[in-house]
Chains A and B, each alone.
Chain A
Amino acid sequence: MTAELTNPIVARDVLAESGACPDVRKPAMRTSTELDRLVGERSARSANLAIARRGGRDISGIAVGYIPMAMTIGAAISRAPGSAIAGWLGAPLIAAGTAHLTITDIVSTGGSLGAAVLAGFFINARLIAYSAGLATWFGGESRPMRLVIGFFTIDATYLLANQRFRSDDPGTEGRRWYFVGMGVVLWSIWTVAMGVGVVLGRGLPGDLGLEWVATFMLVGLVALNLGDRRHLVSAAIGTIVALAAGGIPGVLLPAIAGAAAIAVAVATPPKASPAAVDEARVGSPLPAPDQEAADQ
């Protein structure tokens, strides 16, 4: 017996027949229900990954447009006093170019920490509006997923998500994967490009002269959403406020434009027939009440 057990194949058969261990010679039997579930899970995972890849592909063109800006900020970080690594970490953590560049400039020119943080706060105030807008699409998600969605929220992801979900809504799960796909691609390109800017540092001009590429991208994103009447009206209000606000400090402009748009939106409810209202409810991106209960 001892000699037999020195052969691993014989030992396996002996142990299996004695019942001392599970018989690994036979494949585990699975019920058709279990197989269906496994196949379903695999195809659902493939479909979700395809949607995430679609999100990444959709935003990659925009992300490329942001590379010059990221490199410019990286070059500014390399010239600023203090840790360049800390400055570069702002790429994935702050993930807002205008605010990042502004606070770096303030520190570089001898400004106080408080002034820099306050400037960043006002410039990024628009993120609250994006958070509110995305709650329409992701309000039904779990708390951890909403934390992830929030992390990837910025002008490009917000605008592109709105445009995509209005024209071709992939459903609750699809929205989640699409948004995360966009975020991963945009964050990766932004972080790497800023790192290149930091490393090349003083070898780069302070102004690459390509900042207009990012502006054209942002303008294009707004244009993509202009098919929606409410969006068009809001954008027009923001433009008028900016044109009229000659003396208003730039940091207050987002707050004033947002307040004006809110006032107009609340004062002008959409005119719709009862049938249209019912149809809109059916197409609502929020889960139905019974679905909400099931989720909880």
Chain B
Amino acid sequence: MMWILVLASAAIAYSMRISLLLFAGRRRLAPAVDRALAAVGPAVIAAMLTANLMTVDDGQPAGPGQLLGVVAAIGVVAKTRNLLAGSASGAAVLALAAWVGG
């Protein structure tokens, strides 16, 4: 069962990955289509991240420490353009909040 599951899921995921990349090909997309396609990715990622923050543990939203960690990560990345520094800052704030909160 695991073999079928993995191969089927892999085939579906790969089909999605190449779908519009192959379809669009060398064709020049209309500006409206171009705008629409470029808008989807950021919206989907932001929606999934927000949903994850709303349901962290058994449907409960993220706590203050976790939200502060996210804010710290965003702030540091926006300031330094360094992802590792941003992630480390988020983790540090999260650990600090957990320590303060006992």
Contacts and interface: CB of A to CB of B under 8 A. Distances in A.
Given A99-B13, A124-B12, 17 more contacts: A61-B83, A82-B5, A89-B6, A94-B13, A113-B5, A116-B9, A139-B28, A147-B18, A150-B14, A158-B41, A159-B45, A220-B77, A230-B38, A238-B50, A241-B47, A242-B46, A264-B39
Interface size class of A (residues with CB under 8 A): 35 or more
A127 B90 CA distance: 27
Nearest to A121: B12
A128 interface: yes
B49 A222 contact: yes
B26 A140 contact: yes
A128 B2 contact: no
A83 B2 contact: yes
A256 B29 CA distance: 23
B96 interface: no
Interface in B30-58: 31-32, 34-52, 54-55
A145 to B, nearest CB: 10
Interface SS majority for chain B: helix
B31 A234 contact: no
A116 B4 CA distance: 11
Find the residue from B31, B82, B84 having the highest chain A CB count within 10 A: B84
Interface of A: 61-62, 64-65, 80-83, 86-87, 89-90, 93-96, 98-100, 103, 107, 113, 116-117, 120-121, 124-136, 138-140, 143, 146-147, 149-151, 153, 155, 158-159, 162, 212-213, 215-226, 230-231, 233-239, 241-243, 245, 250, 253-254, 256-258, 260-262, 264-266, 269-270, 286-287, 289, 292, 295-296
Nearest to A96: B13
